[in-house]
Structure 1
Amino acid sequence: MTNTFSILVVDDEPDNFDVIETLLSAQKYQLHYAANGKSAIASLETFQPDLILLDVMMPEMDGIEVCKLIKANPQWQIVPIIMVTALSSKTDLANCLNAGADDFISKPINSVEMRARVHSMLRIKQQYDNIQTLSHIQSNTINILESALNELRGTLASRMSHELNTPLNGIMGAISLLKEDIENMDITEIREMLGWVDESAKRLENLTKKFLTYLELESSPSRQQSFKTAHTKFSSTEVEAMLKSYVHKLRRGNDNLIFDLEDSEIALSDRYLATILYELVDNAVKFSASGTIIKINSRVVDKMFNLSVHDLGRGLTKEQVERIGAFVQFERKTYEQQGIGLGLRIVKKIVELAGGLFSISSIYQQQTTVNISLPIRSQLELD
């Protein structure tokens, strides 16, 4: 045992304490002395004993009564008590055990027996303390998981319902107006309302696709093998045109997009590549002001395809970066943003399944860069 254990010796004869102190001097024990039962009970909080050596024959309050009082207190029930007694009859020993004693030593004390019994009781106490520590850790972990689960339930209930109802209400509202008054509308009004329906339907479609992609990735751990056989061409000209078109649909000009791309053959399907590009650029647009620069870079370094998307937007704190996960959004109420917080989680999962690396570097209220690394096709063929 490497710990320094606290042992309380309760005996009305100070000489007996000196004997015990001598017998245990070679051990790393911190010994404390109480001359009677009342003093012993009063000193428990101060000494916090890991073990109590309790003499049976004491005036006023004998050891058996002291043992009963200590064991009746839930705070001290787990502290082992070794009764030190000159009594030897089976009835006397039974009384000690019935009082709650964990062990006993007969007088005159044998040094080997004393050290063995003390060591044994302290080992049991240490094992109990370890179990209690693990129990507390487990309890805290369960509480944290329950809290996170409750938060997730609340998020799903509030955000999912909001994100689903908003486009549905747009569709239903426009259709209701058309049904009620289409005869009195001119073609321009009808086209405008159909535009609302189309926009809402696309928003609902994108939300559904994103959620299904998330479920697909999270529920298929064996999918990693299929990633190893996938490959697609990363064409700088095609990617640039695709992202410019996408940003234009988000109603943000292309003049703030800066591309520095290198072609490559990467170990990823074109579908998942497009998902990564759209999600990263969508985040950059969503969380940065119109007119600020968004940089999209790609390079092949050490047989890995490295892609980064950089924006001069709201940024994230270190704590927020560490908390990124499914259905997690930060400062949603402040900025009234859309979405359900799945984009970065989907990107990270795709990259992990493809055998790549995902990281975020950010300065709060200044900038964010999302970096991913993916194996290139030639590397997989070598494997």
Structure 2
Amino acid sequence: MAREVIAEQLSVEPYRVTQITGGLKLLEKFDKLKPDVILMDVMMPIMNGYDVCQEIKQNPARSHIPVILVTALNSREDMLKGLETGADEFLSKPVNGAELRARVRTMLRIKNQYDSLQSVMQLREDLAHMLIHDMRNPLTVATLYNNILLKRNQLSPRDKEYAVLVRDGLRNLAGFLDEILTTAKMEEGLLKPTSQPNDISQLITNVVEGQREVARLQGLQLMLDLPQERRSACIDATLFKRVLDNLLSNAFKYAPDQSQITLRLRYLGDENNIPHTPSFRLQVMDQGPGIAPENYDRIFNKYEVVTLKQSGQEQIGLGLAFCKLVVEAHNGRIYVSPNLPQGAIFNVEM
């Protein structure tokens, strides 16, 4: 059989070759096998090589593993179909041993480079998390002494205003550090939302009241547009508040002086929600510089933030990636749209 011939041709190399009798069995045993390279015939029973390759490449945890399709089909259409499903290489039958070993070596080199890069990135993230933990102690001390100054009531009105700004800045910094750690935990599946029924209007009102002084000091009008009816939604109140704090903080940074920021809540559907269907839409509307349409998706990707900032895109930050993780963990979605004639609308549906 073809797989036995290929296994024999690879036997001269220091590889551990495992033979699987079909695409379905490969998918079933995938996590246990942990392959570095996959050689697969196009013509297989039940699931052909194209379908299996597509299944592998659509899984983010497996998409980096090289797939070599072995086929007797030599038409341009067949090769294009294989590329569309994510195949990394092709070998034509009958398979030449020297060519086979050369292709496998190339794919292994690419896989090893990917693994090395992942290790470096993981090391950098681990170091960043250690730094964040180390920053918490001096941040706590600064917050403590600033609060003591505020409680003594011995400051002049102007100094007190400055101390309030310092307090709010320290609070935002602490929240930012917490978000980085929370984001890492959520990405690793170590933290899941603790959802309970909550009055959405009341949660939004509480957050806005806590931000009114910040808005006033920055010369901004903070407006609420809430329906008279009260409804509950099953969400993690703590994480939801952090999402809203982030979106408001983002709006405050880029809104021009004397402009208006509006929070609008609208309920979707009836109170007897269908599972996984959003029950409300929250919009944070500003009159800032806005977001370029080509960046609507990119601003929520933490790996795109530096590139976007270097290109001059404003109104972005790591907080938006945190918001996306939290909203999607609630089976919701977050997206941006234009606030004509100027500004952006950040929409949260949960």
TM-score normalised by structure 1 residue count: 0.46
TM-score normalised by structure 2 residue count: 0.50
User: Is the radius of gyration larger for structure 1 or structure 2?
Assistant: 1
